[in-house]
Amino acid sequence: MLLVTSTPAWSADAVATLPVAPFNWSGAYLGVAGSYNWGHTDWEFINPGGTNADHRADGGGIGATFGYNWQFPNNVVLGIEGDLSWLDAKGVTVCPNPAYECHSKVTWLGTVRPRLGYAIDRFMPM
């Protein structure tokens, strides 16, 4: 019994190269964001003793980033981007009257910003 097999042979000249379209930054996008936040405030209370308080607030957060870009034929990219995050940043400090505590809490943080850049394929300095 004789077994014969073959494999296709390819010539370097015979392989057709397909044109690759340049990358385009146009379109909408959505992402998830995680963070850790911290803050520091010096509180000055107006009272006969002139007491000051060193106050810190920190905590984690989670949110979303979203935006839209438009790439023009000359590779200029204009866009808008925003984010919205839920935070759990809290702080407690003793107030001048020790019967009370001074609290601070940040639960939401959002930003919106424009984008202007120049696309060089998949690289876009802004």
Say whether pLDDT at 116 is over 50. Answer: yes
Closest CA to 77 of 121, 38, 34, 119: 119
Q: pLDDT tens digits, residue range 78-110? A: 999 999 999 998 888 777 777 777 788 889 999
- Tell me what pLDDT residue 106 has: 87
- This prediction has a pTM of 0.64
Give burial (CB, 10 Å; 0-12/13-18/19+) of 20. exposed
Helices (H), 39-123: none
Could you give the CA distance from residue 7 to residue 100 in angstroms, rounded to a whole number? 84
- Tell me what pLDDT residue 8 has: 57
**Which of left, alpha, beta for 48 (phi over 0: left; psi -120 to 50: alpha)?**
alpha
What are the tokens at 25? 């930054």
What residue ranges do the domains of the chain occupy? 27-118
- Tell me what pLDDT residue 14 has: 55
